[in-house]
Amino acid sequence: MATAAARPAVLLRRAAALKRGVAAACPEHVQLSRSFSAAHQAQSQSQRASATNPDYAIPNPSRPTHFGFETVTEAEKRERVAGVFTNVAESYDRMNDMMSFGWHRVWKDYFVSSLNPGFSPLTSGPDPRVPQHILDIAGGTGDIAFRMLHTAHAVNGNPDVRVTISDINPAMLSVGKQRSRTLPASQQAALSFVEANAEDLTKTKPLGMSLSPTTPTSPPVNNSTTATSSIPDNSIDLYTVAFGIRNFSNIPAALREAYRVLKPGGVFACLEFSKADKYPILNALYKEWSFRAIPLIGQLVAGDRDSYQYLVESIERFPSQEEFRDMIADAGFVVSGANGGYEDLTGGVAAIHKGMKPRDA
| DSSP characters over 316-354 | HHSPPHHHHHHHHHHTT-B--STTTTEEEEGGGTEEEEE
Instruction: Kindly tell me the burial class for residue 212, based on how many C-beta atoms sit within 10 Å of its own C-beta (0-12, 13-18, 19 or more).
Output: buried
Q: Which residue is nearest to ligand SAM (CB)?
A: 140
Q: Which is nearer to ligand SAM, 109 or 288 (CB)?
A: 109
Contacting ligand SAM (CB under 6 A), which of 244, 266, 319, 355? 244
- Regarding 100 and contact with ligand SAM (CB under 6 A), the answer is no
Three-state secondary-structure class, residue 43: helix
Nearer to ligand SAM (CB atom), residue 68 or residue 139:
139
Q: Are 317 and 290 in contact (CB under 8 A)?
A: no
Report the distance separating Cα 290 and Cα 313, nearest Å.
9
Are 140 and 85 spatial neighbours (Cβ–Cβ below 8 Å)?
A: yes
User: Does 211 contact ligand SAM by CB under 6 A?
Assistant: no
Which residues does the annotation place in the binding site?
Answer: 141, 167, 197-198
Contacts to ligand SAM from residues 157-176, by CB under 6 A? 167-169, 172
Position 252 contacts ligand SAM (CB under 6 A):
no
Q: Rule CB under 6 A: choose which of 65, 247, 309, 321 binds ligand SAM.
A: 247
198 is a contact residue toward ligand SAM (CB under 6 A): yes
Q: Does 138 bind ligand SAM (CB under 6 A)?
A: yes
Q: Which helix (H) or strand (E) holds 132?
A: strand 132-137
Contact of 342 with 352, CB cutoff 8 Å = yes
Interface residues for ligand SAM in 53-92 (CB under 6 A)? 81, 85
Cβ-in-10-Å burial (0-12, 13-18, 19+) of 94 comes to exposed
- Comparison of 199 and 237: residue with beta carbon closer to ligand SAM: 199
Q: Least separation, in Å, of the C-beta of 361 and ligand SAM?
A: 23
Identified binder of ligand SAM from the candidate list 8, 118, 139, 295, rule CB under 6 A? 139
Q: Which of 197, 307, 309, 314 binds ligand SAM (CB under 6 A)?
A: 197
Q: Is residue 231 a contact point for ligand SAM (CB under 6 A)? A: no
Burial of 157 (0-12, 13-18, 19+ CB in 10 A): exposed
The contact set with ligand SAM (CB under 6 A) reads 81, 85, 138-141, 143-144, 167-169, 172, 197-199, 242-244, 247-248
